[in-house]
């Protein structure tokens, strides 16, 4: 059931959205904030999913699904009095928590899969860099958020052999199929999702190449409610137009050009000019007398 959030939002919805709806509704240009209310997931649905995928959902994610079977909240901005969808916050339901990289029963035996992208020369986690997920049987990867086609936020079980480890992490898979670590728990990721207001490409703020210039404009207009803005401000100068309009359109003070006085004509030319005018006068007088 889809509903627009009224002024007196339900108390549990206000807690679920961490009160971000109030901030959006008071932001300039925001046209509408829409929340899709979903029923809690049945416990047997979660158990069935765990049995099918041979793994156990993290406790915080399981409690989330027992409260609401997925999450979807969108908001728009007005452009020429027409609402344009901008922010999108999505967490797939249990039924859409599908595995990535798994071979389908309809796939031909010789068809390429994501597992073929694995490279044994990939750097493993060391020090501050965690080990990246694998598309093959070493990891189990499930899609949490399709990110409107800008990538995928995934729930990752990194150690699936010989037994699936209950430890999970949240990773972002960009469109070039590179992995970027987000958080260790679903609760931490959910807070990131809410505090970034679902702005387009916000996940790229946690990559080495950052968000696109267009997305950065939206970030500057509707600033995320987060303290982790180092990656956004790192190369801020590269997006700034350094032209100063005051200097570009400044009227230049033109120095007045003094007109030079015409040189006095020589006596000879002055006499010829006088004779010509007297000749014209006499001819006009002759014509008038004839009449």
Which of the residue ranges 136-150, 156-170, 261-275 would you say has the lowest mean pLDDT?
261-275
60 CB-contact burial (10 Å; exposed 0-12 / middle 13-18 / buried 19+): middle
What are the pLDDT digits (tens) for 246-277? 554 455 555 555 655 555 555 555 555 555 55
Residue ranges per structural domain of the chain: 11-102+131-231
Please give the structure tokens belonging to residue 89: 């916050």
- Evaluate whether 106 touches 112 at the Cβ level (below 8 Å): no
> Across all residues in the chain, what is the average pLDDT?
76
Establish how many alpha carbons lie within 13 A of residue 171's alpha carbon, considering only the half-sphere containing its beta carbon. 25
Q: What is the pLDDT of residue 131?
A: 87
Helical H segments across the chain, by residue range: 11-16, 20-25, 43-53, 59-67, 186-195, 213-221, 230-233, 245-248, 267-290
CA nearest neighbour of 156 among 139, 138, 175: 139
Q: Is the peptide bond before 122 cis (omega within 30 degrees of 0)?
A: no
Gap between the Cα atoms of 171 and 277, Å rounded = 99
Work out the pLDDT band at 160, boundaries 50, 70, 90: confident
pLDDT at 186 over 60: yes
Distance of CA 178 to the CA centre of its chain: 18
Instruction: Report the predicted TM-score, pTM, of the whole model to 2 decimal places.
Output: 0.69
The position carrying tokens 């206000």 is 14
250 vs 136 pLDDT, higher one = 136
Note the pLDDT tens digit of each residue in 20-66: 888 888 888 888 888 888 999 999 999 999 999 999 999 999 999 99
Average of pLDDT values for 160-179?
A: 88
- Asked if CATH classification 3.40.605.10 holds for the domain at 11-102+131-231, the reply, yes or no, is no
Q: Is pLDDT of 149 > 80?
A: yes
pLDDT at 7: 44
Q: Which pair of tokens denotes residue 209?
A: 């190449």
């Amino acid at each position: 059931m889809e509903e627009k959030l009224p002024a007196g939002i339900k108390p549990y919805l206000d807690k679920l959205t961490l009160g971000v709806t109030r901030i959006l509704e008071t932001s300039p240009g925001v046209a509408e904030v829409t929340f899709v209310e979903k029923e809690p997931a049945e416990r047997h649905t979660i158990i069935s999913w765990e049995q099918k995928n041979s793994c156990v959902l993290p406790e915080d994610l399981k409690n989330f699904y027992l409260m609401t079977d997925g999450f979807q909240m969108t908001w728009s901005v007005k452009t020429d009095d027409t609402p344009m969808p901008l922010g999108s916050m999505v967490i797939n339901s249990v039924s859409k928590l599908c595995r990535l990289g798994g071979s389908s029963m309809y796939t031909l035996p010789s068809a390429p899969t994501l597992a073929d992208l694995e490279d044994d020369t990939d750097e493993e986690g060391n020090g501050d860099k965690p080990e990246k997920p694998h598309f093959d049987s070493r990891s189990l990867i499930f899609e949490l958020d399709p990110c409107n086609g800008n990538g995928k936020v995934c729930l990752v079980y990194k150690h699936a052999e010989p037994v699936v480890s209950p430890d999970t992490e949240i990773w972002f898979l960009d469109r070039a199929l590179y992995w970027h670590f987000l958080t260790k728990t679903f609760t931490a990721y959910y807070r990131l999702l809410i505090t970034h207001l679902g702005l387009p490409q916000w996940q790229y703020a946690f990559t080495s190449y950052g968000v696109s210039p267009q997305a950065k404009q939206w970030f500057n207009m509707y600033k995320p409610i987060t303290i982790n803005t180092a990656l956004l401000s790192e190369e801020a100068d590269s997006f700034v137009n350094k032209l100063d309009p005051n200097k570009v359109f400044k009227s230049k003070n033109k120095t007045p050009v003094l007109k030079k006085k015409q040189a006095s004509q020589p006596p000879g030319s002055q006499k010829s000019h006088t004779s010509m005018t007297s000749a014209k006068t006499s001819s006009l007088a002759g014509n008038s007398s004839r009449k």
